[in-house]
């Protein structure tokens, strides 16, 4: 949901793809795959132009992987998380969005000390663990393998830089640097798919000003 904020990864993609295609943000803050699976048909359907969709990202796991005892509302068991991702992929295929147009994104790593401060400030205990988030990231990667989709393993990639805390604003959510990292990683996958898209309408210098209808209609 926050990806269209200033310096957000969704805003980056929208800027790169202006006059080629519209980037639609259907992120839902706090949601898990159990809820997302239910509402997906309301968000994407044949009547909303699914056949003209060039790419879909599915980015879940940070909430699903919340610890059951401390955050039962958002927690989804690991096996159900994987099944829900598969269900969403199957639904997208049913509305003619093929697996080669789907990109799964794993949850990013969790910086526990920073997120614990956020939890304590609300009177709560640390309700997530990075190792647990990693299990959900691995499951996401496996679903992509099983279903033939692309996958961006954010959890692993961000931790190649040993101090990954700068990628996160509060230990859980992406910082400006984290948004830039995700945008760059995603663009490297999308560029091949989308570089051939034509511009919408001609460049202004190419319009015949004496007969604009000939250029524009």
Ordered by start, the domain boundaries in the chain are 2-215
Residue 92 region by backbone torsions, left for phi larger than 0, else alpha for psi between -120 and 50, else beta:
alpha
Residues of the chain above pLDDT 90, percent:
89
**174 Cα distance to chain centroid:** 12
CATH superfamily of 2-215: SGNH hydrolase (3.40.50.1110)
Per-residue pLDDT at 77: 98
82 neighbors 93 (Cβ within 8 angstroms): no
CB atoms within 10 A of CB 113: 10
60 neighbors 111 (Cβ within 8 angstroms): no
Both tokens assigned to 88: 């969403």
Across the strands, what pairs with 150? 103
Q: Which pLDDT tens digit goes with each residue over 98-155?
A: 999 999 999 999 999 999 999 999 999 999 999 999 999 999 999 999 999 999 999 9
Query: How many angstroms separate the CA atoms of 107 and 62, rounded?
Result: 5
């Amino acid at each position: 949901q926050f990806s269209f904020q200033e310096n957000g990864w969704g805003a980056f993609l929208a800027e790169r793809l202006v006059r080629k295609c519209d980037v639609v943000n259907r992120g839902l803050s706090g949601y898990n795959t159990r809820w997302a699976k239910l509402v997906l048909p309301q968000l994407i359907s044949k009547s909303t132009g699914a056949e003209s969709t060039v790419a879909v990202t599915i980015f879940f796991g940070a909430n699903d992987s919340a610890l059951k005892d401390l955050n039962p509302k958002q927690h989804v068991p690991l096996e159900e998380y994987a099944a829900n991702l598969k269900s969403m992929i199957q639904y997208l295929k049913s509305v003619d969005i093929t697996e080669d147009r789907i990109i799964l994104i794993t949850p990013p790593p969790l910086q526990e000390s920073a997120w614990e401060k956020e939890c304590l400030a609300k009177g709560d205990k640390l309700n997530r663990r990075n190792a647990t988030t990693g299990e959900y990231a691995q499951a996401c990667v496996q679903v992509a393998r099983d279903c033939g989709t692309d996958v961006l393993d954010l959890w692993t990639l961000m931790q190649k830089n040993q101090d990954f805390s700068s990628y996160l604003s509060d230990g859980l959510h992406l910082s400006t640097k984290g948004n830039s990292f995700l945008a760059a990683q995603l663009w490297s996958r999308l560029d091949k798919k989308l570089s051939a898209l034509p511009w919408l309408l001609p460049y202004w210098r190419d319009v015949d000003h004496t007969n604009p209808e000939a250029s524009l209609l």
